[in-house]
Amino acid sequence: MKKHPANTAELAHLRNVTERIGKIPEEEWAFVVKHIYKQRYEESTFLVQAGEQVDSFFFITKGLVRFYYTTESGKEFNKHFAGESGYAGSYISVILGIPCPYSIEALEQTELLVLENRLLQELYNRHPFWERLGRVNAERLAILKEFREKEFLLDSAEVRYRRFLKEFPDLVDRIPQYHIASYLGITDVALSRIRKKMGNINPG
């Protein structure tokens, strides 16, 4: 995959999102930007395929990706979606150094800023800010995982769909209905029934 230099606006976008947890020291930002580059992925191409060793983390500046597992029989189960200002990667590959168990596919033409995993490890040792960033992101993932477990165990399909509409209001019209159904753990037909039942009712 060809590497492209990141422009000033893209780097500013990344910094603005990152600094939601605190200000990056100028010397640390000056160091990290030298190692960031941009890549483009066309629709239906893979950032990561299951079984690959993932050597980078991605920050999405444009586009949309899905994370999904595939069974031995070829059935797909969506686990997450990420759009602009979102991240993509695999903590399993970063921390344990093992292949990623899921695939990450571009659902649209997607542009990303790339930071290699080896540099992430170096950053953790350079300054407390980077360790804090890693901790906060790990906490957010843990919280998301707990909510997903709770909704699959306790909530109805309709409640899960209403929550999806709240969590991804800008993505609903960009994601095919069968991908949404897979994310909710239901069939396309079941999702169609829920949407018909809701009609024009406010999903909130």
- 59: pLDDT strictly greater than 50: yes
Task: Indicate the pairing of strand 110-116 with strand 56-62.
Answer: antiparallel
Contacts of 160 (CB under 8 A, 6+ apart): 151, 152, 184, 185, 186
State how far Cα 60 lies from the chain centre.
Answer: 8
- Any idea where the domains of the chain sit in the sequence? 4-144, 155-204
Q: Is the pLDDT of residue 18 over 80?
A: yes
The domain over range 4-144 is classified in CATH as 3.40.50.10860: no
Taking only the tens place, the pLDDT of each residue in 103-113 is 999 999 999 99
Which stretches within the chain are classed as H helix?
8-18, 26-33, 91, 117-126, 128-154, 157-167, 177-184, 188-198
Q: How many helices (H) and strands (E) does the chain have?
A: 8, 9
3-state secondary structure 112-137: EEEEEHHHHHHHHHHCHHHHHHHHHH
Q: What is the pLDDT of residues 131-183, one digit of tens each?
A: 999 999 989 989 999 999 999 999 999 999 999 999 888 888 899 999 999 99
CA distance 141 to 86: 12
